[in-house]
Amino acid sequence: MSVEKKLQVVLGGTSGMGLATAIELGKMGPVIVGGRNEERLNRAVAALKEAGVEGYGKQCDISDRASLDAFVEYAASKAPIGNVVNAAGVDSGSSELIWQVNVQGTINVVEAFLPYVGGSCIVNYSSITGYYYQPTQEELAIWANPNAEDFFEKSFECTTTKEVDPRMAFMGPEFLTYIASKRFVQYYTAANALRFGKKSSQIFSVAPGSFDTPMLRQNSEEAIAGIAAGTAFGRLGKPEEMANFIVKLLEPGHEYLTGVDLILDGGKHAMGTVPQYE
């Protein structure tokens, strides 16, 4: 549901897929990007301008509601707010940081922007790794009340203290927290469909497989070659491919799309779940 000349917002728009999405969204109107690191932010705004986009930037930590509210206020002062893409996410650091950014941060973004939504769309970034995590009934009961005062503590404790499936233990506690956080993003996006529908608006998430970004480049060359080999095309995705995918779906004609998680992974999920024909 594109809204011409409205301000397109990208949290985590200062690197990787978020930055590529921000540049592509420039087709729809002015764009504002947010992220924590000032240097990265300035470079991203310069990249937007170089691409001919009317670009703005403001430092913002989505896990901190006050910081996000200041970002929203600044954004709204520039132009009426249109689509919002939340690409901000972390896959390393402590489990607590991962939960704060990927889970609490996603809730914060939706709650902070919901009052501005109308004929527009929020897009969250999940991950195909979310499909490898199975929440328990106890976790689902907590996830049903994301605005509860003790949501963060309860949800974090429940996920990080539960018994780990021995087949998944090799991943390590932080990565398990990461995949659980991405499963939450998928769940939370789906659970918001009706709220957004009532405002004639959409919400969906995109689940990247393996894309060539600074996040993925934290892995060794050997690991990256193995990851690329696990796709149908034998290569990583390009950030621009994800950007094109999202922005095409935000163009008019896709207004019935909401509440779903859309995989873009070069066949990685298919290859990992279904035996492939020779």
Question: Which residue ranges make up the site for ligand NAP (CB under 6 A)?
Answer: 11-12, 14-18, 34-37, 40, 60-63, 87-91, 101, 105, 125, 127, 208, 210-211, 213-216
Residue 102 DSSP symbol: I
Q: For residues 96 and 255, which CB has a smaller minimum distance to ligand NAP in the complex?
A: 96
DSSP 176-187: HHHHHHHHHHHH
Distance of alpha carbon 197 from alpha carbon 145, whole angstroms? 19
Q: For residues 3 and 53, which CB has a smaller minimum distance to ligand NAP in the complex?
A: 53
CB of 78 to ligand NAP, least distance (A): 18
Q: Amino acid letter at 124?
A: N
Q: For residues 3 and 88, which CB has a smaller minimum distance to ligand NAP in the complex?
A: 88
Q: For residues 24 and 91, which CB has a smaller minimum distance to ligand NAP in the complex?
A: 91
CB of 61 to ligand NAP, least distance (A): 4
Distance of alpha carbon 8 from alpha carbon 10, whole angstroms? 7
Other CB atoms within a 10 A radius of the CB of residue 8 amount to 32
CB of 208 to ligand NAP, least distance (A): 4
- Those residues whose C-beta lies under 8 Å from the C-beta of residue 162, and which sit 6 or more positions away, are 136, 139
CB of 137 to ligand NAP, least distance (A): 26
Residue for token pair 């979310």: 130
Q: Which long-range contacts (CB under 8 A, 24 or more apart) does 144-147 make?
A: 144/191, 146/107, 146/188, 147/107, 147/111
Q: For residues 82 and 208, which CB has a smaller minimum distance to ligand NAP in the complex?
A: 208
CB of 58 to ligand NAP, least distance (A): 11
